[in-house]
Chains A and B, each alone.
Chain A
Amino acid sequence: SAVISQKPSRDICQRGTSLTIQCQVDSQVTMMFWYRQQPGQSLTLIATANQGSEATYESGFVIDKFPISRPNLTFSTLTVSNMSPEDSSIYLCSVPEQGAFFGQGTRLTVV
């Protein structure tokens, strides 16, 4: 199974600022997924990050708010832009290959 390292594990940010979350995998993977889990809710897919092409966003999520980079087959970043308190959530990256494993998650609080 893949080992997925995500950082930061948590952060408290001021509204109006941006936070970039990093996800590193110990093997090359084709797809990486980014999920959001709002307080008390289940996980919702934000987008699919494919190496060498633009990320594919799910309904309700836009690139200006959640820009994603995928510079190589082992790394991706998700930026939460112009944050508001409603963005307070746990953000998780996932690798669908070799199963469906997740990074440790980033618990974001926007104040």
Chain B
Amino acid sequence: AQKITQTQPGMFVQEKEAVTLDCTYDTSDPSYGLFWYKQPSSGEMIFLIYQGSYDQQNATEGRYSLNFQKARKSANLVISASQLGDSAMYFCAMRADSSYKLIFGSGTRLLVRP
């Protein structure tokens, strides 16, 4: 069975600082992908970044980077230079390549302080 765990229900960060959102996962599939999404109060799910299980390098997309530690089964999201607009819910998700279904963590609410 697959499982995603986000242990931080809420996080605060000062504007312009960096923040790390934690995500651990469990799967028996050898090939899988890890995703991070941002959900503002509007409810839409905004794709941020993707990491494949066989990717050698950590994924980066602008201010977002994914700290992928395969042996520890962790895929933490790092947001650099936080902005007020980063305040939102953040979800980590996993998808085994044998199935296209996304399994989501419980989410972390990030609040950026001015």
- Which residues of chain B are within 8 angstroms of A53 by Cβ–Cβ distance? none
Q: Count of A residues near B, CB < 8 Å? A: 24
For B33, give the chain A residue with the smallest CB separation. Answer: A100
- Which residues of chain A are within 8 angstroms of B72 by Cβ–Cβ distance? none
> CA separation between A1 and B46, bound complex, in Å?
12
> CA separation between A45 and B93, bound complex, in Å?
12
Checking B37, B91, B100, B106 against A33 with a beta-carbon cut-off of 8 angstroms, the contacting residue is B100
> CA separation between A100 and B107, bound complex, in Å?
17
Q: Mark A38-49, 1 if CB is under 8 A from B, else 0.
A: 000111110010
Q: What is the interface of chain A mostly: helix, strand, loop, or mixed?
A: strand
B106 adjacent to A100 (CB under 8 Å):
no
- Interface core residue of A1, A33, A100 (most chain B CB under 10 Å): A100
B47 adjacent to A92 (CB under 8 Å):
no
A102 adjacent to B44 (CB under 8 Å):
yes
For B93, give the chain A residue with the smallest CB separation. Answer: A100
> A98 to nearest B CB, angstroms?
11
B95 adjacent to A96 (CB under 8 Å):
yes
Interface residues of A in 7-50 (CB under 8 A from B): 31, 33, 35, 37, 41-45, 48
Can you list 9 pairs linking A and B with CB atoms under 8 Å apart? A35-B102, A41-B106, A42-B106, A43-B93, A48-B100, A97-B100, A100-B93, A104-B43, A105-B44
- Since A43-B45, A100-B35 are in contact, a sample of 20 more A-B pairs with Cβ atoms closer than 8 Å, ordered by chain A residue number, is A33-B101, A33-B102, A42-B104, A43-B93, A43-B102, A45-B101, A92-B45, A94-B102, A96-B102, A97-B100, A100-B33, A100-B47, A100-B95, A101-B47, A102-B44, A102-B47, A104-B43, A105-B43, A105-B45, A107-B43
Closest 9 CB pairs of A and B: A96-B100, A102-B45, A105-B43, A42-B104, A90-B43, A43-B104, A104-B44, A42-B106, A105-B44
**A residues neighboring B (CB under 8 Å):** 1, 31, 33, 35, 37, 41-45, 48, 90, 92, 94, 96-97, 99-105, 107
